[in-house]
Structure 1
Amino acid sequence: MAIGAMLGVQLSNALSVGLIDAVGTAGTAWLRMCFGTLLLWLVARPRLSSVRLKDLPALLILGLATGFMSVFFLVAIGRIPLGTAVAIEFLGPLTVAGIAGRRLGALAWPALALVGVVLMTEPWHGEIDLVGVVFALASGACWGLYNVFTQRIGDRFSGISGLSLTIPIAAVFTGIIGLPQVVGGHLSAGVLFAAAGIALLTPVISFGLEMLALRRMNHTAFGTLLAIEPGFGVLVGLVVLGQAPHFVQLGGIALVVLAGAAAQRGSRRGPAPSLDPAVPVSADGG
């Protein structure tokens, strides 16, 4: 499930590049969240009555992190290659994993990943796009929050019911800047159809798989597989966008993957907490 989610996320990001020219980065993210909400509500049919007051902070934080993780990352890939953006973004969840490890030595792995990122961006050539790097880092911070709160919401709600509650929140938050871009952009039936198709891939399928996977693993165990996502980013960037990395950049990606895998050694999650009996089982059978 985790591997399928990673491939789906990177493929949807690559396919979103074509929409950015039409409706902007925030507009693209907002349309994805809106269609994602529609599709999820058709499948999961969440019951708002199942939401307790103490659930709201986690739902709001996860919705905010999900929405702006997408916005910031789409801005980044508009300026730097997909594989490089994923490697930089990966510093977020990797740092969270290091902190969760509660060992000072665990923070050495984010530092090693940072070396890999430097090799990928090659600042000594003077061609680095600092704006793209900053937005990739901002997306990474959101990604770290996303992993933490996805597990909490996944433990609280059955199946993808939690996702059907957080994606609408993400749509509301991203709509603040996304809606004006859509209205002022070049909206067409083709753009709407493409956005709906991408939304089916991410957030519906990919984020749903991540939430289900995180019910079976802790943050560090999930990060073991997550470590290969920069490699998936390079692969998808090469196949879909024609972005071919050279030797030094491949070495940087290898360091990021190595750091991510090493940071997660020996960590496994016990049985997922039992769902609150007051929360109804969703239509997806979770």
Structure 2
Amino acid sequence: MQADVSKTAAPGSDGMLLASLAMLGSQVSLNIGAAVGKHLFPVIGVEGVTAFRVGFSALFLLAVFRPWRYALTRRDALNLLVYGTVIGVMNLLIYHAFSRIPIGIAVAIEVTGPLLLALLASRRLRDVAACALAVFGLWLLLPLHTGAGRLDPVGVACAFGAAACWALYIVFGKRASSLRGGQAVAWGMLMASVFIVPLGVISVDPAQLTPALVATGVAIAVLSSAVPYSLEMLALRGLPQGLYGMFSSSAPAVSALAGLLILGEHLSAVQWSAIACIVLASAICAVSARG
């Protein structure tokens, strides 16, 4: 049964502040890791980088949280199975998007998943306006009109697939967030690695795995998965679903800045305007859902 956010007791101010800081730290860590990971795509491919990210994250989280110490109910196990599968597919799709289109644009498309979820949670007139604003932002962003920058259609499709996964991640992450400590994210990452790591093993030449490359892979795993997913689980526990969506709305702007500063991905004025529209739409809708 989906978590009923409207019936969840509002967390205290201290808990809300801690959860908000956790979301901020998650965004910064995630985007730095993604920008670093993009540098490795030409060397070991998208599947290889994703396998590093998910595989090392699973090992790290299992070692830290030791989730086997606590028994799981059948319902918890089912939620974790879906949660872990969504994590794996989301990682793979968004990295394929990153390999073909700028990070900021990919995340602007991806954040429409949480936006849609927030819209479904709060049906008000301003939500309709927010949806229209997001659609306008996507129209500016995608090559649907004269003057729009050319984007790889496969990259765009992967970003939309990641958006659907992000919405499912919020729903099933909320369901699993009642588990002890980092139990949920540790089991979820392990389940994701079950099918992601074999894909990486098949696609990577062992001769390429130098100590420096492996060390970079470990850093990507810590920055892109282990730290942000743990912080997001804390945030999901302390924030209503709508407010979580509001914080998630900053992701495109943070990603675009990371792409600019780390990768030198310069966006046009129209693309920045499109990202701003999507960020504003997500924030408006999430504030409405919180109310």
Aligned equivalents of 2:198, 2:158: Cα separation in 1: 18
Match of 1:4 in 2: 25
Aligned equivalents of 1:56, 1:16: Cα separation in 2: 31
Query: Over residues 61-102 of structure 1, what are the superposed CA-to-partner deviations in whole Å (9 max), with x where a residue is unaligned?
Result: 111111111111111111111110010111111111111224
Match of 1:175 among 197, 205, 216: 197
The answer to whether residue 230 in structure 2 is matched with residue 208 in structure 1 is yes
Match of 2:158 in 1: 135
Q: Structure 2: which 5+ runs fail to align?
A: 1-21
Aligned equivalents of 2:87, 2:131: Cα separation in 1: 22
TM-score (norm 2): 0.86
Match of 1:69 among 65, 73, 90: 90
| Counterpart secondary structure, 1:50 | coil
Match of 2:260 in 1: 238
Query: Over residues 180-205 of structure 1, what are the superposed CA-to-partner deviations in whole Å (9 max), with x where a residue is unaligned?
Result: 11347833222211111111112111
Aligned equivalents of 1:225, 1:264: Cα separation in 2: 8
Which has the larger displacement, 233-242 or 111-120? 111-120
Matched AA of 2:150: E
Q: Structure 1: which 5+ runs fail to align?
A: 270-286
Aligned equivalents of 1:65, 1:103: Cα separation in 2: 29
Contact 1:63 1:169 in 2 (8 A): yes
CA shift, 1:229, in A, is: 0.9
Query: Over residues 13-37 of structure 1, what are the superposed CA-to-partner deviations in whole Å (9 max), with x where a residue is unaligned?
Result: 1111122222211221112111111
CA shift, 1:213, in A, is: 0.4
Match of 2:59 in 1: 38
Aligned equivalents of 1:108, 1:142: Cα separation in 2: 24
Contact 1:83 1:237 in 2 (8 A): yes
| Counterpart secondary structure, 1:78 | helix
Contact 1:32 1:198 in 2 (8 A): yes
For these two proteins, the number of residue pairs brought into alignment is: 268
Contact 2:27 2:254 in 1 (8 A): yes
RMSD: 2.0
Query: Over residues 87-131 of structure 1, what are the superposed CA-to-partner deviations in whole Å (9 max), with x where a residue is unaligned?
Result: 011111111111122458635533421321232234434722111
Aligned equivalents of 2:276, 2:158: Cα separation in 1: 22
The answer to whether residue 218 in structure 2 is matched with residue 196 in structure 1 is yes
Match of 1:280 in 2: none
Query: Over residues 127-164 of structure 1, what are the superposed CA-to-partner deviations in whole Å (9 max), with x where a residue is unaligned?
Result: 22111100000111111111111111112x12212111
* Closer/same/farther in 2, CA of residues 104 and 184 from structure 1, 3 Å limit: farther
Contact 1:99 1:107 in 2 (8 A): no
Summarize the alignment of residues 254-269 of structure 1 with structure 2, pairs less than 5 Å apart: 254-268=276-290
CA shift, 1:228, in A, is: 1.1
Contact 2:55 2:197 in 1 (8 A): no
Matched AA of 1:112: L
The answer to whether residue 272 in structure 2 is matched with residue 250 in structure 1 is yes
TM-score (norm 1): 0.87
The answer to whether residue 101 in structure 2 is matched with residue 80 in structure 1 is yes
Matched AA of 1:186: Q
Match of 2:3 in 1: none
